[in-house]
Structure 1
Amino acid sequence: MRVCEFSIIFLVLAASIAALARAQEVDDEREFSYDESSGIGPSRWGEIHHEWKACNSGQMQSPIDLRNKRVQIVSHLGKLKRSYKPANATLINRGHDMMLRWTNYAGHININGTKFHLRQCHWHSPSEHTLDGRKFDMEVHMVHESDAGRTAVIGIMYKIGRHDTFISTLKPGFQALSEVKDIEIAIGIVDPYLIKFGSRKYYRYIGSLTVPPCTPNIIWSIVRKVRTVTKEQVNLIREAVHDNLEVNARPIQATNGRSVEIYRPNYPKN
Structure 2
Amino acid sequence: MVMNLSRPTLPFVLLLTFASIFLHSKPILAQEVEDQKEFNYISGSEKGPERWGELHEEWADCKKGDLQSPIDLLNKRVEVVTNLGKLKRSYKPSNATLKNRGHDIMLQWNGDAGSIEINGTEFELRQLHWHSPSEHTINGNRFDLEAHLVHVSADNRIAVIGVMYDIGRSDSLLSELEEKIRSLAGNKTQENVGVVDPRHVKIGGIKYYRYLGSLTTPPCTEGVIWTINRKIMTVSREQVTALREAVHDHAEKNARPLQPINHRKIYLFSPRHRPQGQSNN
Determine which of 143, 149, 156 is the counterpart of 1:149: 156
Give the letter for the 2:168 counterpart: G
Residues 43-66 of structure 1: CA distance to partner in whole angstroms, max 9, x if unpaired? Answer: 100011100000000000000000
Determine which of 227, 241, 251 is the counterpart of 2:233: 227
Q: Please state how far the C-alpha of 1:244 moved relative to its aligned partner.
A: 4.5
Residues 53-91 of structure 1: CA distance to partner in whole angstroms, max 9, x if unpaired? Answer: 000000000000001122000012101100000000001
- Corresponding position: 1:262 with 2:244: no
Q: Please state how far the C-alpha of 1:262 moved relative to its aligned partner.
A: 0.2
**What's the secondary structure of 2:122's corresponding residue?**
strand
Q: Please state how far the C-alpha of 1:179 moved relative to its aligned partner.
A: 2.9
Give the letter for the 2:70 counterpart: P
Could you tell me the TM-score, scaled by structure 1's length?
0.89
Q: Please state how far the C-alpha of 1:257 moved relative to its aligned partner.
A: 0.1
Deviates more, 1:22-31 or 1:146-155: 22-31
Give the letter for the 2:198 counterpart: P
Partner of 1:10: none
Give the letter for the 2:96 counterpart: A
Q: Please state how far the C-alpha of 1:266 moved relative to its aligned partner.
A: 3.9
Partner of 1:167: 174
**What's the secondary structure of 2:184's corresponding residue?**
helix
2:40–2:251 Cα contact (<8 Å) kept: no
For 2:187 and 2:222, the matched residues in 1 are separated by 34
For 2:250 and 2:176, the matched residues in 1 are separated by 25
Q: 1:29 to 1:158 in 2, by over 3 A?
A: same
2:81–2:268 Cα contact (<8 Å) kept: yes
Aligned residues: 248
Partner of 1:14: none
1:23–1:119 Cα contact (<8 Å) kept: no
Using the aligned pairs only, state the percent identity.
Answer: 56
Give the letter for the 1:214 counterpart: C
Gaps of 5+ in 1: 1-20
Over the residues paired in the alignment, what is the CA RMSD in angstroms?
A: 1.5
Gaps of 5+ in 2: 1-27, 274-279
Q: Please state how far the C-alpha of 1:36 moved relative to its aligned partner.
A: 2.0
Q: Please state how far the C-alpha of 1:265 moved relative to its aligned partner.
A: 1.3
Partner of 1:200: 206
Task: Spell out the pairing of 1:166-185 with structure 2 (5 A cutoff).
Answer: 166-181=173-188, 183-185=189-191
**What's the secondary structure of 1:178's corresponding residue?**
coil
Moved over 2 A (4+): 242-246, 266-269
Q: Please state how far the C-alpha of 1:242 moved relative to its aligned partner.
A: 2.6
Task: Spell out the pairing of 1:34-183 with structure 2 (5 A cutoff).
Answer: 34-181=41-188, 183=189
Q: 1:151 to 1:136 in 2, by over 3 A?
A: same
